[in-house]
Amino acid sequence: MKFLVILTIVLVYKYWSHRRYWRDQVPFVKYQNWFLARSLTPRSQYLLCVGLPVLAVFTLSVLLATGIWTIFWLLLSLIVLGYSIGNNNLGQRVTNQGQWLRGLSGDEPLAGLKVQQDQYLEKTTYANFQGIYPVIFWFLLVGPAGALAYGLSRMYLKNLGYEDSRSQQVETVLYWMEWLPARLTGFMFALLGNFGRCFDAWVAGLFDVEQSHSEWLCSLLGMAIDKSDYQDINTVSGFVQRARQDLKASKELLERSLFGWLGLAAILAIVGW
């Protein structure tokens, strides 16, 4: 049953452009903002904004998990995961970066171009990761309540703003919620890319709790696609040619990793998870 839910959500995430309909219709942003405007402790606000809805979904999912009610559990899971996943804007990000590369005049300093290319890869890799993989992981582990906990935590952090003093606690929660999914995603990169080089780096950083997930995943992605370090490039045209190759390879690997997670869900379904 879980595999059917994940298969549906993966297809919705990848191919349905109106997948954010549920989030647009359910006003959780207003719900969270109402509590954020109250004079409550940060922990109380988080528990009310995230914990209370998650508890409600967990209770409902337990009640619907057996007998003829499983069809309603399936519907609940589809709605919750559809609400919790992020935007699949990989294609648009790649298009925008490609347009930026085509628009270079040839007079730009190479050092700055290399920094911008590296920043693009890090932001795109992490955004692609956050959009769906932790949601799938927590759904497999806990059920729809786990997926909702991650999705609402991200929404709560966005509503707070990263400059808010209360955001540090939520960032810590999200870091640990993403820790295991990031390790699995890094393994997917190794499995679907340059295995030897990437796997060694994956093992070396497996228990690292200092490096950010965005930096770690981007470094693994670079090894998996044999990304250029651009050190031997002396012209803008040469940079553009190499950057386009990295752009294409990174997009293909990020797309394949989605189906790698789908394969993981299928294996768990076969063993009876």
Full residue range of the structural domain in which residue 204 is found: 2-270
Q: What pLDDT shows up at residue 112?
A: 86
Mean pLDDT is lowest, of 117-121, 139-143, 232-236, for: 232-236
pLDDT at residue 272 greater than cutoff 80: no
The residue whose two tokens read 């370090």 is: 229
Report whether 150 contacts 138 (CB < 8 A).
yes
Angle value at C-alpha 118, between 175 and 105, nearest 5 degrees: 150
Q: How far apart are CA 152 and CA 81, in angstroms?
A: 11
The 10s digit of each residue's pLDDT in 15-59 is: 876 666 666 666 778 888 888 888 888 889 999 999 999 999 999
Amino acid identity of residue 92, one-letter, is: Q
Q: For the purposes of burial, counting CB atoms within 10 Å of the CB of 83, is it exposed (0-12), middle (13-18) or buried (19 or more)?
A: buried
pLDDT at 136 over 90: yes
**Which segment of 36-50, 57-71, 90-104, 157-171 scores lowest on mean pLDDT?**
157-171
CA-CA distance, 127 to 148, in Å (whole number)? 18
The residue type of 272 is G
The helix-helix angle for 167-192 and 195-204 (nearest 10°) equals 150
Q: What 3-state DSSP class applies to 207?
A: coil
Number of domains in the chain: 1
Q: Any idea of the CA torsion for 61, 43, 132, 193, to the nearest 10 degrees?
A: -130
Rg (CA), the chain: 20
Task: List CB contacts of 265: < 8 A, sequence separation 6 or more.
Answer: 2, 3, 6, 7, 136, 140
SS (H, E, C) 66-130: CHHHHHHHHHHHHHHHHHHCCCCCHHHHHHHHHHHHHCCCCCCCHHHHHHHHHHHHHHHHHHHHH
pLDDT for residue 150: 96
Q: CA separation (Å) from 253 to 91, 175, 249?
A: 13, 23, 6
Q: At 72, which amino acid appears?
A: F
**The residue to which tokens 């109380």 are assigned:** 44
Torsion sign, CA atoms 191, 193, 194, 198: negative
Give the pLDDT confidence score for residue 215 in this predicted structure: 95
Cα–Cα distances in Å, from 199 out to 16, 45, 187, 192, 235? Answer: 33, 41, 7, 11, 32
Q: Is 70 exceeded by the pLDDT of residue 147?
A: yes
pLDDT reported for residue 17: 65
Please give the angle made by the CA atoms of 131, 155 and 172, to the nearest 5 degrees: 85
CA atoms in the 13 A half-sphere facing the CB of 268: 18
199-237 pLDDT tens trace: 999 999 989 888 999 999 999 999 999 988 877 788 888
User: Over 80: is that where the pLDDT of 162 sits?
Assistant: no
Per residue in 68-83, pLDDT (tens digit) is 889 999 999 999 999 8
Note if the pTM is more than 0.85: yes
CA gap 209, 198 in Å, rounded: 19
